[in-house]
């Protein structure tokens, strides 16, 4: 059995992941963590019957039980510290929380190398989103002019999304930096052209009713190409999270992007 803890279990993703772990043969939920939980046991919540401890501080996780995998769907401010804590205590991190920058990821990878422990940081666990990013990187070889429009629910804390940043990184690997639009263009309203990543514009839409969506829009002479992915429901991420929990048990590196485990 793979012993798993879910950090951020009261949240939208954490609660979906908690149910996935409980429903997956071969996985054992040994605890859930959330400083904003009022409960001390999962079975105090009407949707659960299982006797599972609820932790409010990450340090308490260690005193009470042994853990193989740390699933993290928390908030950008704590993702780095949580992942570091997991690695330092030989728990394999499966991190979906966004907001980690390149240097954070590199530092965590160095620590994982020292500890020879596997893990994953994935800005997006949906298989369709991985394909969207790979197709976009492929298209950028022939269509260097591209803008990313990511659309999310209005409770999202970070902008642009982790997926948009990863997409932009993958595109830049193929086409390099590339100035887009008119060199003399001016914004009469600040932010009108979106964020800039190596010449590529990224636009973040936040609206009620949305879940997680992204459109990568290419333009060229007389033609356009749009690659779009939609997560209509958070269950879209769970196949990837379950796969990661199994795969990290066999790895000795912390990888960035689910595609590295497929
Ligand atoms: N990689 C992926 O496929 C996906 C990633 N995400 C990311 O996952 C994160 C969570 O998203 P949501 O569930 O929508 O947010 P949410 O706001 O619904 O949940 C966050 C939860 O984290 C808890 N939390 C805060 N500090 C904590 C700490 N120190 N330890 C443990 N828990 C703590 C909060 O109390 C809350 O329950 C975001 O960064 C989001 O971008 C979201 C969807 C898919
Ligand atoms: O906050 C979300 O909801 C999501 N966050 C991730 C991101 O920032 O890319 C993944 C997905 O887009 C949903």
Reply yes or no on whether 152 is catalytic: yes
Determine contact, residues 229/147, Cβ cutoff 8 Å.
no
Q: Please report the domains of the chain, with CATH numbers, ordered by start residue.
A: 2-121+235-261 (3.40.50.720), 127-231 (3.30.360.10)
Q: Which residues contact 189 (CB under 8 A, 6 or more apart)?
A: none
By most ligand atoms within 8 Å of CB, the mutation choice from 99, 127, 212 for ligand 2 is 212
160 lines ligand 2 (CB under 6 A): no
Over residues 196-251, the pLDDT tens digits come to: 999 999 999 999 999 999 999 999 999 999 999 999 999 999 999 999 999 999 99
The whole-model pTM stands at 0.95
Of 3, 115, 156, 178, which one is the catalytic site residue?
A: 156
Both structure tokens of 187 = 């914004």
- Tell whether 13 is in a known binding site: yes
ipTM of the complex: 0.99
pLDDT digits (tens, 9 = 90+) for 161-200: 999 999 999 999 999 999 999 999 999 999 999 999 999 9
**Structure-token match 């048990």, residue found:** 249
């Amino acid at each position: 059995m793979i012993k798993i803890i879910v950090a951020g279990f009261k949240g939208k993703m954490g609660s979906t992941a908690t149910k996935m772990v409980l429903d997956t043969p071969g996985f054992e939920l040994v605890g859930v963590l959330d400083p904003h939980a009022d409960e001390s046991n999962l079975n105090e919540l009407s949707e659960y019957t299982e006797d599972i401890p609820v932790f409010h501080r990450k340090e308490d996780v260690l005193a009470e039980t042994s853990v193989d995998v740390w699933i993290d769907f928390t908030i950008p401010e704590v993702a780095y510290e949580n992942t570091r804590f997991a690695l330092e205590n030989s728990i394999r991190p499966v991190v979906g929380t966004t907001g980690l920058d390149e240097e954070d990821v590199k530092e965590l990878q160095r620590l994982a190398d020292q500890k020879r422990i596997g893990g994953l940081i994935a800005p997006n666990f949906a298989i369709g989103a991985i394909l969207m990013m790979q197709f976009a990187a492929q298209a950028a070889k022939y269509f260097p002019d591209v803008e990313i429009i990511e659309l999310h629910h209005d409770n999202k804390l970070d902008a642009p999304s982790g997926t948009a940043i990863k997409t932009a990184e993958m595109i830049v690997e193929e086409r390099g930096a590339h100035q887009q639009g008119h060199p003399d263009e001016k914004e009469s309203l600040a932010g009108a052209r979106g964020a800039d990543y190596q010449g590529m514009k990224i636009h973040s839409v936040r609206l009620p009713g949305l879940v997680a969506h992204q459109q990568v829009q290419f333009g060229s002479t007389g033609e356009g190409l749009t690659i779009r992915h939609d997560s209509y429901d958070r269950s879209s991420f769970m196949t990837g999270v379950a796969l990661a929990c199994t795969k990290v048990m066999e790895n000795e590196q912390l990888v960035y992007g689910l595609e590295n485990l497929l």
